[in-house]
Structure formats: C-alpha cells, structure tokens
Amino acid sequence: MRVLVLDMTHGGDLIAKRFSAEGDDVTCVDVYRNCPADRRQDLADLDIGVAESTPVGRYDLAVMPAHCPRSFIGDAEVSEVITFSQAVNRFIEDTRFRIEVTGVKGKTSVCYLVSKILHDAGRSVLLHSSRGEGPWTDEGHRIDRKVSIAPPYLMTLPAGRFDVIVSEVSLGGSGKADIAMVTNLAEDYGIAKNTLKASDAKKDIFTDGINIVPEDELEFWIPKCLYVKGYRRRVRALSEPRLGEGLRVSVDYDGVSEIVLDGSYVSTEYLQAMDAVLEICSFMDIPRDIVLRSLETFRGVPGRGEILNENGMTVVRERNPGISHLSVARTMQCLHDMHALDGALVLLDPVSRKVCDKMDADEITRVVNGYGVPIMITEGNGERPGIPSDTKLLIELIKEGYQ
C-alpha cells in the first residue's frame, strides 16, 4: 500500500514508521518545513520518502492531523484519508489503564488534579501533559521529558508498571482509553483553514469505555457518541474569593462537605476542572476522605494561576499554550471578583514554541482594557520590559508549551 503522511511537526514521523514497519511504501511530507534534519535523515535511513511538498502520484491512503487542511494533499490522488487519531487507534498497543483528556480549556488542570488524587489514593501514576511527561511522586509531577501532546505521542508513552496513565491530548485521542474526557467546548474554533471545527477532531477521543463531557454539552456530543456521561457542578464557593487567601467551598461527592482550598493559586479558575475530576473519581471509586484531602492540599498547576511575590510585588502567572482571549477573560474576571485589579498591569509575552495556534493579541488587549487594566506586550525575545514601580499586581501571560 502507498501511504502519504502529511505533517512532521505533530508526530507524523511516528505514524510513518508504523506504516513502514507493516511493509507499506511511505512518503512523509514536512508541510510546515520545520522538521529537524536529524529526524528527516532518520526516516530516510528507513527508506521512508521525505518531501517538503506533496509529490504528485496515486496513494492508497493519506494520513494527516485533523487540523491540517486537505489542500496540502495538492495534486496527489488518494483513495482514503484518515486522521492521526485514527491511525493511533489502529496502532496503539498499550493496555495499561489510561485516562485521556482533551477539550478547549482546563485540560492540564484536570490532568494534574486527577493525577494527584489517584497518587494520594495509592495508585502509581504516569502523567503525560503539555508541561511534560513523568511520574507523579510525593513531591508532585516529576518531569522526565518534554513531549508533544499530539495524538501520535500516545504511542511513545514510557514503559513501566503504572496503575494509571493520565494523558492530555491536544486534538483527538486514541479512541481506546478506559476513560475519555472532553473538559469543555468553550469555543468550537475553526481548524484546517476553517473547513472543520475543533469538535470534529476532539470527538476522536471517545472510546468504548467511559466518556465524560460537561452536562450542559450533552445534547451537542450525543450525536457524536451515544455512550457519553455529563459531569455536573459539584464544587461551589461559599466565601468571597480574595487573592492569596484560602477559599471555602462545598464539595458534593458522596455527600456534601466543606473544605478550604489553598490560597497559593487562583483556585476559582479551577472549579470547573474540579467538577470534571470528581466525575472521574466517582467512576474509579476513590474514597471521599482522600478526595477531600487532595483538594485541600492541591497547590494548582505550576504557572497556571500561580500567585508569587517578587520584590514586594504580587505576580499572578499564567504560562500556558492555550492562552487566548477566552482564557484571559476568565483570569481577569476571577481577579476582578477578588477585588485585586487596583494597580494591576498585564504583561503579555507572545512566545510560541511548538504551539501551532497563535494568539490574537488585539483581542486579548480588548479584553484586558475592558477591565480598565493597562497591558504591555513583549517582543517575544525572553526579555521582560521595565515594570512601573507603582504596579501592585503583575498579571503575566506567557503563551508557550508543548502541543
């Protein structure tokens, strides 16, 4: 079979090697023309064709990421087109218990929190996230390697006796997880040059096992997956949020309890993620006392709503590949509700390292200005500009990470 694999940025080389191992004649196209020379040579050494544009010819199969536009096929003739997720579904052989999480917002938060709870419950956990990959330990997530969260990298999960693997996935999934979750569809943004929607790709995560989506999105997802469960609101704030102070909340999990969330992070940003995680925990029969203790001792994801003190100035840091006008609006609203925006300044760093979607700085500026807060935008060279001395709160938005 002649196979055409488009895109070497999001794991196309891994897909190409799998088809080649089956004896197929494979051509891999570096459509974004940014694949390192050593990876190109690695494929060439395996007699896998490497090109920068699609060679004209007839192919039995074209394999491409869901976000890749069909126009990249060019003048080639193909009998069938499948996504990277569908190829992963074909090749993945990992039978360890796996939770896959996709969605528009909150993926990393859900993955971190469920990993902590499962670890606290005595499970050995491997976490594969946009921050990196490695086991969850008593000290938190130990990152052993930086790796993409594109679907093909589900096939490169490290060996080891883990009770649970928690995998964050950008678009799609393997379709073979034990539990699959879509955190939300806060914005069904266009992909593949607006020929598809994000939901068209994210639906590939759904499995024959347990599928979880927000309860208010059930009607949208049921036509794409009949066997889907909605997660509901379980965590509610009982006290007025204040920056740097603990938040008293009620938790509906095997009865209603009251706990106090730690004040070292903007916990109100995490409430929906907590709702989602509790649904997973209920399916896995995690005891209530462990869930409550884990929620109380959770300190947030490093760089995601993290509250710091730098030279007497309070800093809220959002380091996230998913920074957009929607995420910024949520952060600003949370800080507004804390009455923390007096003397605030937003610093936006448009870093984009291995992140395929670029943020709209103009739209983010509009959102920030709507809260009466000034904004500074860096040159993206890693240097922080001078911060006015009267700044009480610096809201630092850094768009970077591995997708």
The string of DSSP codes covering 157-207 is PPPS--SEEEEE-SS---S--SEEEE---S---EETTTTEEHHHHHGGG--
191 with 322, same domain: the answer is no
- Coil, strand or helix at 245: coil
Residue 68: pLDDT band with limits 50, 70, 90: confident
Final residue in a domain of this structure, among 56, 91, 126: 91
Higher pLDDT, 391 or 33: 391
Q: What percent of the chain has pLDDT over 90?
A: 77
The pLDDT tens digits of the residues spanning 319-333 come to 888 788 888 999 999
Measure the CA–CA gap between 28 and 3, rounded to whole angstroms. 8
279 with 324, same domain: the answer is no
122 with 206, same domain: the answer is yes
36 with 159, same domain: the answer is no
pLDDT of 298 strictly over 80: yes
pLDDT of residue 403: 45
Residue 353: pLDDT band with limits 50, 70, 90: very low
pLDDT of residue 355: 42
pLDDT of residue 385: 84
Residue 31: pLDDT band with limits 50, 70, 90: confident
Overall size of the chain counted in residues:
403
pLDDT of 45 strictly over 50: yes
pLDDT of 231 strictly over 80: yes
The pLDDT tens digits of the residues spanning 189-217 come to 888 788 888 888 899 999 999 999 999 99
Final residue in a domain of this structure, among 297, 332, 361: 297
Number of domains in the chain: 3
**Boundaries of domain holding 382:** 304-398
310 with 284, same domain: the answer is no
pLDDT of 70 strictly over 60: yes
Residue written as tokens 């009466």? Answer: 372
Does the reported pTM lie above 0.95? no
73 with 6, same domain: the answer is yes
138 with 234, same domain: the answer is yes
pLDDT of residue 216: 96
Residue 380: pLDDT band with limits 50, 70, 90: confident
Least confidently predicted of 108-117, 194-203, 390-399? 194-203
With contact defined as beta carbons under 8 Å apart, do 10 and 148 qualify?
Answer: yes
Final residue in a domain of this structure, among 91, 106, 129: 91
Q: What is the mean pLDDT of the chain?
A: 92
Higher pLDDT, 257 or 32: 257
CATH number at residue 223: 3.40.1190.10
pLDDT of residue 354: 42
Highest mean pLDDT range out of 285-289, 309-313, 387-391, 395-399?
285-289
